[in-house]
Every structure is written in structure tokens, then in C-alpha cells.
Amino acid sequence: MEKLGPGDPQRIGGYRLLGRLGSGGMGQVFLARSDRGRTVAVKLVRPELAEREEFRARFRQEVRNAQRVGGFWTAPVLDADTEAAVPWVATGYVAGPSLQQVVDHDHGPLPERSVRILAAGLAHALTNIHAAGIVHRDLKPSNVMVTIEGPRVIDFGVARALETVTGDGALTQLGDGGLTQTGALIGSPGFMAPEQVRGDRITPACDVFCLGSVLAYAATGVLPFGSADQQGVHALLFRIAEEEPDLTRVPEGIADLVRACLRKDPAARPTLERILERTGAEDTVADGRSRDPWLPGTLVAQLGRHAVRLLETEDPQGAFTQAAPHHPGPRGTLAAPPGHGPTLAAPHPAYGHPQQYPAPPRQPMPTSVPAQAPMPVPMQVPVPHNPYAADAPDAAAYGTPTPATPATPATPVTPTTSRTRPAAAVVPRCCSGRSPRWSRWPPAARCTRS
């Protein structure tokens, strides 16, 4: 990843740019982070392409198609603004190098087991892409990302937007080197299918042929039909259309599969289901990842260091600038007004606004202390109805209750010597059932048996 240049924007839509990932025929690719913290890859279309209405219409359609692609083996299309002055599209960032970087610089050709798992992952990815009605057309090592869990395919479908129609109905297409003349071909010459070279009808079998070329390159480090640097573009295209590939360096365990994918006749090539069977995908991959480690140890360590660097990536210097209604030129760091803190730069009008991740509105600060709210009024609890109340409407029906007579205090009993039992007293019985003999009355009674 490279640092942002002086003419690069600091924000595109709702994404803060962190650095440059590369550039291609369609435009520049930036590493960015959304306001919610997700790391994405933002592809910014070249201005000369944005001025062509034919390209813009095709780009709009292909972005909608790419958003329907699901599965684990592709980088999802998260956001896009096809109506901005300079259209852009944001996809999920895949934390890992490309297959081209791994084979050409970091490690070299992959072992047979790694290539077999690579074939299974790419077959799964192409199955998901074809299910959405898309033919990739440009499957090549730079569009295959290598991660610890397995390969990931990027740039599917959107590459078709580079095919635009001129006024006379002829196709004008664009490659990695820039705008080409009418009748040129889209894609990388070393990884094109014969039907692409001849200009025939493109079917999903075109991606199967490209898959065979990618597998041969991953296993040997060279292209099966040679490179354009050695023999020229026209000689390379002739070999793709008419001659057989050179698979002498491909391991025997996968040579037959690669040879079947590189057949000239699209109908003779194996289907993706057949490729999954021949690679033993059920035993090697599941749910978007390899069941066991599929890369050499040196590559696993490199991917770990790459993930650490990604976590340590901060916003580039100059990401905080003075807010302005529009941006007249290249972004830079501006001094904040006295007494004011830095604010995020306003989005460039050419790059539009986010479709799915709008920035939350900022709440204004209160200018004065709000008035104290009045005390709440206690709720009146209704009194239960008393039908005996004097003022009750139905008091006559129930009558007037008689007031209770206060109780009179008890008269103390005067002691007497008479053995006559008081009339109102309850005669106690002794345990034998006979009336006891009272020695005296009150305060205490005593039972004495005769």
C-alpha cells in the first residue's frame, strides 16, 4: 500500500481514505475505512470514462448485478455511487496479497495441495458469480486474493462496464494500459479464453478456461501459453486460439484437471460441479475456508504480519481539514480557525455521497440552561362509594344506620361470704364431674374434693 498523493481525495462518499492499493484500466483503488469502522476497498473510476454516458449506464447495471453475488469466496460489493460526477464502488477489503504477488515475489509456485484447494475455492466463487447471472471474463492472478482461510475473487462483473458502444455500434474496450482502439479486447491476454480472442459469444465456460490458466500459473509460475513480453501480444493470442498449452511443469495430480479446463471447445470443458468433485472440495473446504492450513508456513507468517500492519494503519496526515461547501483543488491540511477544533473535511462534490453509510447528523449544542420543569400535580385517587353515607344518592334505599352504643364499663363484684353461686356465673366442674366446694369467691376459686 502506498501513501496518498497530493492530488488524491481524503474522503470518497462516507469513507476516509487511508492509502493507495493500486490502479487498473477502470481507475484507482484506495484502502478506506467507513464511519462505522469497516475497512473497504474503494475503486474510483477514471474521469475520462465517467464522461462517457455509455460507460456510465453499463457501470450502473454491472454494479447492481454484482451486489446480488453472495457466498463466502468473493469480496462483497457494499456501496456505490454511480450518479456522482466521478462514480465509485466500495467492496469488502480482503486482508491478503494477490496470487500474482505471492507467486512472482513472495513465495514462488505453490505446492500441489495448495493448488488443489485453490481450485476448489475458485470453483465455489465462480459458482456464486454465475448464479447471479454474471460472467467474470477477467479471472487472473491479480484478481485472486490469498488469505489464511482460502482464496477470494474480486472485480467480478464490474469489468464488463469497460465495454462501451460507440456511435457506429462498434465495441470500444479498455485494458490495463488505457483506452484502446475500436475492436480491441478486454482482459489480460495471457488469461483469456479462445472465444474472447475470436470475438465469439461469451458463456460461463469462458471463466472455466481462465481458471485453468490461473491454476497452471499458480503451480508453475509461468503462463501455459507464454507471455506477451516474450512473443508479442498477437503471437500470444494466436497460441491461445490455435495451439495447445505447455503443461510439462504442472504436477501430475492436477495436470489432467488443468488440461480439461484449457480445451478449445467451450462445451468440452468440465462444469464447475465436476471441478469441485475432482478437487475433493467436500473434504478440503467448507463455509468459505479451508478445513486445514492450505498455505506454506512462510506465507502464513507473512499474512499474519500483513494483518498486524492493517490494524496499525491510521488516518493519513491531513485527514482533518477545514469544512467547506466545496473543494476547489487538491486537498491539504488547513489550519483550524481560532477557538475551533478540527472538523472532518466535507466530501468532494465529484465523489458524491454514501448510499448505505450516511454520517449521523450532529446535534446542536444548547445555548442556554433549560427552564426547570414544573412539579407534577399529584393524581387524585377516587374515594370508594359508601351507600350508607348521608349524602349518598341511594341512602334512602338502605336506611340510616343506627349509631353504635358505647360499651359501659363492667361493675366490680363485691366479695361475699355466702356460698350461694352467682346466677350469671358459670359453675366450673372439677375433674371428677362434681361441683367443687368453693372456699371463697373471688378473687380465686379452688377445687377441693370431698
Write the DSSP symbol of residue 231: H
Of 81, 138, 155, 207, the active-site residue reads 138
Q: Which residue spans within 190-304 are E strands per DSSP?
A: 285-286, 289-290
DSSP SS3 for 195:
helix
CA–CA distance from 242 to each of 231, 237, 245, 263 (Å)?
15, 9, 10, 10
Torsion angles phi and psi, residue 357, rounded to 5: -130, 65
Nearest partner of 315 among 6, 39, 106, 76, judged by Cα: 39
Report yes or no: 296 and 117 within 8 Å, Cβ to Cβ: no
* Amino acid (1-letter code) at residue 427: V
Burial profile 320-334: b = 16 or more Cβ within 10 angstroms, e = fewer: bbeeeeebeeebeee
Report, in angstroms and rounded to the nearest whole number, the Rg of the chain calculated over CA atoms.
Answer: 45
CA distance 223 to 235: 14
Q: Compute the distance between CA of residue 336 and CA of residue 327 in angstroms, rounded to an integer.
A: 16
Report the SS3 class of residue 91.
strand
- Sign of the C-alpha dihedral computed for residues 157, 126, 216 and 289 taken in this order: positive
Give CA separation, 229 vs 242, 243, 353, in Å: 19, 18, 42
Q: How far apart are CA 205 and CA 399, in angstroms?
A: 102
Helix H or strand E encompassing 27 = strand 27-34
Tell me the three cell numbers of residue 192: 483469456
Chain centroid to Cα 185, Å, comes to 35
Residue where the block lists cell 474472447: 196
Report the distance separating Cα 112 and Cα 220, nearest Å: 10
Specify whether 265 is catalytic: no
The SS3 call for residue 66 is: helix
Beta bridge partners of 171: 165
Cα separation, 323 vs 186, in Å, equals 41
Active site residues: 138
